[in-house]
Structure 1
Amino acid sequence: MGTETLLLIILSGIIALLVALFQYKYKAKYKGKWVLVFTFLRFLSVFAILLLLINPKFTQVSIYTEKPNLVVAVDNSNSIAYLKQDKNALSILNTLTEHPELKKEFDIDVFTFDDVIKTSDTNIFKSKASNIDKALRELSSIYKNKVAPVVLISDGNQTFGNDYSVSNKYTQPIHPIILGDTTTYTDLKIQQININKYAFLKNKFPIEAILVYQGNAPISTKFTINQGNSILYSKVVTFSKQENSTVISLTLPANSVGVKSFTAKLQALKSEKNTTNNSKNFAVEVIDQKTKIALVSDFSHPDLGALKKSIESNEQRAVEILNPIDFLNKKNDFQLVILYQPNNKFKEVYEVLNAENKNRFTIVGAKTQLSFVNNNSKVFNVAQTGQEEDFQAIFNLNFSPFLIEDINFEDFPPLKGPFGDISFTVPFQTLLGKSVLGISKNEPLLATLETNSRREAVLFGENIWQWRAQSFLNETSFNPFDDFIGKLTQYLASNQQKSRLTVDYESFYTGSNNIIIKAQTFDKNYQFDTRQSLELILENISSKEKSTTPFILKSNNYQVDLSGLDASKYSFTVRSKGENLSKSGSFEVLEYNIEEQFLNADVAKLKQLAANTSGKSYFVNNVDELISELVNNEHYKPIQKSNKNTVPLIDWKYLLVFLILTLSAEWFLRKYNGLI
């Protein structure tokens, strides 16, 4: 409280006293025994009113103790149970959470993690995936501005994600408790099988197997590839301490169409402790044709290479970059033609495409000759202003021709295209709309159309190569962008009639995780219909067991998660309860549990993680040392803090109550004495 405020309060007291004396001493006719009481009550009332007008501020200081957090992260993956460490993990967790000194010194938070992290202490150790790096990064984000040492209860075996032992993104000290046997055993393992997802009928497809040996003595064993009960390939392989790995390359024939499942096996040694990793299942889908696509351009541009790589990421498709003259010599070889920024050199190309009514994908950019395209396309027209504009994309959730997902198109770099109004002479669907500086132009950036049994797409912008690069920056993978281009290509390369129910699924899945089947339904105007109730009827072909699962609406599609299915072949039917819409298919789940491939705890990585984060690593029988370290570490002591809060007097409600009481008491006494 300042000096000026204090002087005002003193002055207020003087004024309040003078007012009270003036009314009850100087001017009052009543001279009875209550005059001093009336004077005192009036003084209090006037003084309280003046205090409210001055409204002085008071400082409140509250002192409290803040304990650091102790974060306990428990690995919930199947490798913990496979290494017979599940009981140890639960025992350690119970010891840490119930220890009286730890409870006194820390606020203990328990998390479990596998491929995701959860705020739960329920552990069943059945997950078939683990991502230690992701869990530690999320914990670092949650406790970014706090003192929160992390106790990591894990075997250190990670099935996917970035290498946690060398990451610099963890902000808290990490103390791993290492679960698992550190003894080195003799072991044979199929480290990896490399194979293309697709093969073509009557061709041979390549297989690459990476085999690894852990041991000291020279050994000899047999590597085989089986299909059912038939042995398709066999080879004797030898290993030693120095020559502890080998790569086997071979080819197998694709004699029939469909999904073909195989099993690679390494004959086990008598001394092996873990034989699960001696075999690995894999599959290939054999198809009877390959889609050939012509990418026609009169000049070089980075877009050409980006489109070729994206389309050819699917082994079913091949792209050939041609100039207009070369295309005319091979025009009958292609199922789809991409016209990149056409000009008058494309005149004969358009004549051929129009005469044969071929599907096409036209890309319009800054170098496109608009007068030529407007005269030859016959389906769209772009106003010729001679100006260019940068357009960002807006994803259309109601796009109906095929199932597509938003891959954050709005965050992608803008595409450069001609400035001017766009008109179509036939019905079209907008997949991506245009926006400039965040304002929608209500015009298509990417549109599809179907006319005279022909499918066509038009992209009104160049530099789509930047989208592929941005996709990699966002997801550390080209897959989202390549899948988008792949689905657009699949739609354009086919002339099948549009269906009101579309289903998106894979022919086979490795393991039982992330089996997601997606579907879209459309009304009779082919607008995405969110009112449908879809269900999936699934049948295990081997056991004949059936189950029915409802779809859940997510964004612009319906989804059902079938993760956890046993390895087998399945058939399914997706149907709508409200309308007579259904679609059937089949897929196969290959038996593979990556968590059962580990033989030991990864001690080296866990120790490296501890060293990099200023923590310490411990084994199962050293938990007491960890508790002592946590309790005695000066960096983890509770901190006494104060909270200073300035409160104005007008917020003090009791003063208002006091004012009401003094005025009421004065009025009541005056009334009682007949002065009112």
Structure 2
Amino acid sequence: MNFFLYTDYPWWFLLFCILAGFSYSFVLYSREKRFDETPKWVRRALPVLRFLAVTLLSFFLLSPLLKNITRTVEKPIIIFAQDNSESVVAGKDSTFYKNEYLKNIFGFVSSLADKYDTNVYSFGDKIKNGFAFNFKEKQTDITSLFDEIETRFSNRNVGAVIIASDGLYNKGQNPFYSAAQNKFPVYTIALGDTSVRKDLILSKVLSNRIAYRGNKFPVEIQLSARRLGGKITTCTVSKGKDVLFSQQVVILGNNYSTSIPVQLEAKETGMQRYTIKLSNVDGEVSYANNVKDIFIDVLDGRQKVLILADAPHPDVAAIKNALESNENYEVSSFIASDFDKSLAGYNLVIMDQLPSSKNPIQKLLADIDKEKLPVLYVLGSQLSVPMFNNLQKDINVPSEGGKINDALPLLSKDFSLFTVSDALRSYSSKFSPLQSPFGNYKINSSASVLFSQKIGLVETQQPLMLFTQSGERKTGIICGEGIWRWRLQDFSEHGNQNIFNELVDKTVQYFSAKIDKSFFRVTLSGGEGSKNNFYENESVGFLAEVYNDSYELINDPEVSVTITNNDGKKFTFVFNKTTNAYRLDAGVFPVGNYRYEANVKVGAKIYGEKGEFSVSALQVEITNTIADHQLLYSLAKKSGGEMVYADQLKKLADLLNAREDIIPISHSEKKLSDMINLKWIFFLLLSLISLEWFIRKINGAY
């Protein structure tokens, strides 16, 4: 630590400070007669004290600064990351990795601690700090490890990263590409078994998440076999104790794969569990990957959506394709003049540029009003604005001689009818403008605006997409045409239409949702929002709301829930209170079906909510157990590191110690501070002045 003194004035200004102190002391004491009889040291001390005090005070008029330079030495950082997934111990060396290997790794990392700043992590489906290795993680995400290192150690002296893994990943991107941005060498410790051993694998089961009662739904079973040529296995699909499908499979060759299509009938509503199993074959390395469970949510029926258009239009195709991507919806589209069917059974009507002068659809509008169906209007150039304004009272669309505006969507911060994902929230501002009628819109005060119009750079209060509700009937209006461009943009930018589909899906969900007038509401929640199917490594979450008789949210009473498994065992939890609602993280549950019953007592009334959820097995780690050492070698080679094996830890330590670029770094921190802020300066001046006053006092000068 070094100190330097600075001032904004030339240093020769110190002479003026000294001169001021000397002059003040000389004038005060050179002709002072009262101290002639005092001891000699008093006559000398008093002018010196006054000289020092005045000189220091004068010096501080120069605004002196103190420069403090602190130097610290940072050891090079070595990061050790252990693959903590199930696949590491799925081979023949599982005992070694669970015992001797862990002792060796602990000793290896400890030996590096004297020279390096060591940081230890484990990775699987989550990144954890420390030596907590149990090889029970259900997934492997190596990319997230590099992201974590970048977040925690950016601009730090990272000497090297050591990754001990079998090279198998089943979550996230290919780590070879995600590691390309790293500025440090990666050393890899190759674990696992690369030999091809006898194994029968139920690779994948493809099925719809939802089916409808009374319908058949497809299931595709994919299996593979290694070194089992000529053997026979039986594939079965069962529900509880009932076997619904059985087929014998002859394994043709030592590297065999096939798929089996199955049609199952959905007979009961609710969450249904189906078990797919391959009978064991002698000599398999593992039987755990011969079984999978799937869960199908069987519903009573799909939502029926009717799209009516004045004429063929790309907006109609975009909306229809978005709805058809969701198996919850059954979509029909017609030109309005060609539609002569009953509206019975439909849950929503979407009208594109209707009514128009060509298609006034008066009878159809009367039927919609009679059925009290929700309607989503899409306005456009063919719309008859006077007819539309007379049709409803939610919005008055301007009619300025057919003039249009290019209106960009501006997401409203106050919209609350449904949640908008962060992806849609951030990307909506990039959507192309819609061609919207020009003028001043007048909307019902109760309307909820999702998007307002942005004309050029001007943010307006004119609506672009809004929703209203009168009684139990809901209406939505898109004040412009051209949303088909939004779908193309989404695909061009992201390679899919997920954001556009979300907008359409949540809009239709709002229309199809029945008004909930209950005083107690409970929903399941997970990492991806509302859900009723979880993986075995996911926490099961609940959200709850309680209302009083005035339909105001309250959270004074206690809310509890009892979860029951298939065996009748019960687990009871109490919800945590949030600002005005309730939340519960019930933790992870074993694979199976569960029922829950939540209760709350408000005054003398007791409310209850029932439901069910399922927990699925996550078996990706045991599907492929052949270690990928080529990936580990490529990671190390590309970054300037090297791959070693589990019995070469001493070699790895020697490689690290031999590197000339893994060295400590010295950091200098410079800090400027006003000297006058130093407390000891104040006490020094106070001491000088007080001492002078005291000497004068005891010698009769005051």
Q: Equivalent of 2:663, from 628, 637, 649?
A: 637
Equivalence for 1:252: 264
Counterparts of 2:514 and 2:546, CA distance in 1? 19
Structure 2 matches for 1:306-455, cutoff 5 A? 306-329=318-341, 331-332=343-344, 334-344=346-356, 345=358, 347-348=360-361, 349-364=364-379, 369-382=384-397, 388=405, 389-396=407-414, 399=417, 404=419, 406-407=421-422, 409-414=424-429, 416=434, 420-424=440-444, 430=448, 432=450, 434=452, 441=461, 445-451=465-471, 453-455=472-474
* Residue pair 1:571, 1:587 contacting (<8 A) in 2 also: yes
Equivalence for 1:457: 476
Matched, 1:605 2:619: no
Counterparts of 1:263 and 1:195, CA distance in 2? 13
Gaps of 5+ in 1: none
Matched, 1:45 2:53: yes
Distance 1:319 1:528, change over 3 A: farther
* Residue pair 1:407, 1:481 contacting (<8 A) in 2 also: no
Counterparts of 1:626 and 1:470, CA distance in 2? 50
Counterparts of 1:481 and 1:557, CA distance in 2? 31
* Residue pair 1:220, 1:239 contacting (<8 A) in 2 also: no
Counterparts of 2:608 and 2:144, CA distance in 1? 39
* Residue pair 1:132, 1:161 contacting (<8 A) in 2 also: yes
Equivalence for 2:147: 137
Query: How many equivalent residue pairs?
Result: 666
* Structure 1 residue 549: Cα displacement: 2.3
Equivalence for 1:54: 62
* Structure 1 residue 231: Cα displacement: 5.0
Structure 2 matches for 1:149-548, cutoff 5 A? 149-167=160-178, 168-215=180-227, 217=229, 219-227=231-239, 228-241=241-254, 244-298=256-310, 303-329=315-341, 331-332=343-344, 334-344=346-356, 345=358, 347-348=360-361, 349-364=364-379, 369-382=384-397, 388=405, 389-396=407-414, 399=417, 404=419, 406-407=421-422, 409-414=424-429, 416=434, 420-424=440-444, 430=448, 432=450, 434=452, 441=461, 445-451=465-471, 453-460=472-479, 482=501, 485-493=504-512, 498-505=517-524, 506=531, 508-509=533-534, 511=536, 513=538, 515-522=540-547, 524=549, 526=551, 533-540=558-565, 542-548=566-572
Equivalence for 2:695: 669
Counterparts of 2:322 and 2:542, CA distance in 1? 23
Q: Equivalent of 1:651, from 651, 674, 677?
A: 677
* Structure 1 residue 593: Cα displacement: 3.2
TM-score (structure 2 length as normaliser): 0.83
* Structure 1 residue 439: Cα displacement: 7.6
2:251 alignment partner, SS class:
strand
Equivalence for 1:5: 10
What CA deviation, in whole Å up to 9, does each residue of 1:471-520 have, x standing for no partner? 88999875576456435424423656643444445554454535444444
Equivalence for 2:528: none
Matched, 1:576 2:612: no
Q: CA RMSD in A?
A: 3.7
* Structure 1 residue 235: Cα displacement: 3.4
2:661 alignment partner, SS class:
helix
TM-score (structure 1 length as normaliser): 0.86
Aligned partner of 1:209: which letter?
I
Distance 1:82 1:214, change over 3 A: closer
* Residue pair 1:88, 1:620 contacting (<8 A) in 2 also: no
* Residue pair 1:48, 1:655 contacting (<8 A) in 2 also: no
* Structure 1 residue 234: Cα displacement: 0.4
Aligned partner of 2:593: which letter?
K
* Structure 1 residue 370: Cα displacement: 3.8
Gaps of 5+ in 2: 1-5, 525-530
* Residue pair 2:229, 2:251 contacting (<8 A) in 1 also: no
Distance 1:218 1:120, change over 3 A: same
* Structure 1 residue 338: Cα displacement: 1.2
1:166 alignment partner, SS class:
helix
Aligned partner of 2:443: which letter?
S
* Residue pair 2:230, 2:251 contacting (<8 A) in 1 also: yes
> Which 10-residue stretch deviates more, 284-293 or 23-32?
23-32
Aligned partner of 1:493: which letter?
S
Aligned partner of 1:423: which letter?
I
What CA deviation, in whole Å up to 9, does each residue of 1:1-41 have, x standing for no partner? 58952100123213322332222225666545333222211
Distance 1:663 1:288, change over 3 A: closer
Equivalence for 2:26: 21
Distance 1:572 1:333, change over 3 A: closer
* Residue pair 1:105, 1:637 contacting (<8 A) in 2 also: no
Aligned partner of 1:565: which letter?
F
1:636 alignment partner, SS class:
coil
Distance 1:621 1:208, change over 3 A: same
Aligned partner of 1:371: which letter?
P
2:641 alignment partner, SS class:
coil
Aligned partner of 1:381: which letter?
N
> Which 10-residue stretch deviates more, 310-319 or 136-145?
310-319
Counterparts of 1:508 and 1:146, CA distance in 2? 42
* Residue pair 1:74, 1:111 contacting (<8 A) in 2 also: yes
What CA deviation, in whole Å up to 9, does each residue of 1:67-115 have, x standing for no partner? 122222233334445553333563244224422xx22222222233332
1:634 alignment partner, SS class:
coil
2:154 alignment partner, SS class:
coil
Distance 1:597 1:359, change over 3 A: same
Aligned partner of 1:141: which letter?
T
Aligned partner of 2:633: which letter?
K
Aligned partner of 1:446: which letter?
L
2:647 alignment partner, SS class:
helix
Matched, 1:67 2:112: no
Equivalence for 2:527: none
Equivalence for 1:618: 644
1:244 alignment partner, SS class:
strand
* Residue pair 1:223, 1:237 contacting (<8 A) in 2 also: no
* Structure 1 residue 646: Cα displacement: 3.5
What CA deviation, in whole Å up to 9, does each residue of 1:310-355 have, x standing for no partner? 3223313122333222344564563311123434245314233123
> Which 10-residue stretch deviates more, 615-624 or 359-368?
359-368
Distance 1:259 1:659, change over 3 A: closer
Aligned partner of 1:54: which letter?
L
Counterparts of 2:322 and 2:197, CA distance in 1? 44
Distance 1:608 1:29, change over 3 A: same
1:268 alignment partner, SS class:
coil
Distance 1:438 1:138, change over 3 A: farther
Distance 1:333 1:13, change over 3 A: same
* Residue pair 1:166, 1:609 contacting (<8 A) in 2 also: no
